[in-house]
Structure 1
């Protein structure tokens, strides 16, 4: 039987994917007034952070295709993207799906493993085990999921005005 934390990670990820699955690229690139980012950035950022938390701290190979890390790491914004090619929403969804599979396959029996150097988040929480890192990812993705849902509502409201 699969660990409850891994079930939660998959549940959260499936909700994130379902939220954006029917969106087109144009909609995911829309930046609402008063905001710095868009849905594309939020999806890519979820991927980059979870890749780091799941694999980097235990010195496993991360899968960061093309410029994914440069585009979506913390403190980046679409305003810095320039004219470089961006992953489509479908490409980002594929990354999100495969990431959860890799986490389950690689880390199911490593959850209690202590990382070499504990990591303290920007909000002051210190994480010391694989389980703690992955648990934080649920919180992190949930925050960005809420943002994505809000952006979708703003996009829908804008379309209704037209």
Structure 2
């Protein structure tokens, strides 16, 4: 039987993908006034954080290009980064397969303690795989809302 956590991760990821699937690259790199990031940063940050929380905290290789750390780690800001941004196609492709890779790896190991426990910026201590992945639901939901706000300010043609 499939753990409900993977069903929830897949549900949330599907909502994210549906929101951004048809956003063109130029719109995805627009930063509205009063905001620090654009849609691509939010997409990449969700991808990077889940990869880090699923694999990085266990000392495993993250399945991401090396420069994604600079682009998408917490605190990075597109206005301060001079590197080129990955295409929407690349970000979508990586986001689409991530939950299935994580489920394949951790299906029977959700209760395992990770090698590197972590305390979030709000003080929540994460020590087991299921805690890290559960936090990713909250995290992706926050960034989903940010992307919705950015898109609603950047374009009118998207039904948000």
Q: Alpha-carbon deviation of 1:66?
A: 4.2
| Partner residue in 2 for 1:65 | 65
Structure 1 segments unaligned to the other structure (5+ residues): none
TM-score with structure 1 setting the length: 0.93
Q: Which blocks of at least 5 consecutive residues in structure 2 are unaligned?
A: none
Cα distance in 2 for residues equivalent to 1:117 and 1:21:
34
Q: What is the alpha-carbon distance in structure 2 between the residues aligned to residue 15 and residue 71 of structure 1?
A: 23
Are the aligned partners of 2:118 and 2:125 in contact in 1 as well (CA < 8 Å)? yes
The residue aligned with 1:156 is 155
Cα drift, residue 51 of structure 1? 0.6
Which residues in structure 2 correspond to 1:67-146 (within 5 Å)? 67-82=67-82, 84-146=83-145
Match of 1:20 in 2: 20
Aligned-partner SS, 1:97:
helix
Q: Does 1:147 align with 2:143?
A: no
Instruction: Give the RMSD, CA atoms, in angstroms.
Output: 1.2
Partner Cα distance (2:84, 2:153) in 1: 25
SS at structure 2 position matched to 1:115: strand
Moved over 4 A (4+): none
Counterparts of 2:67 and 2:59, CA distance in 1: 20
- How big is the shift at 1:99? 1.1
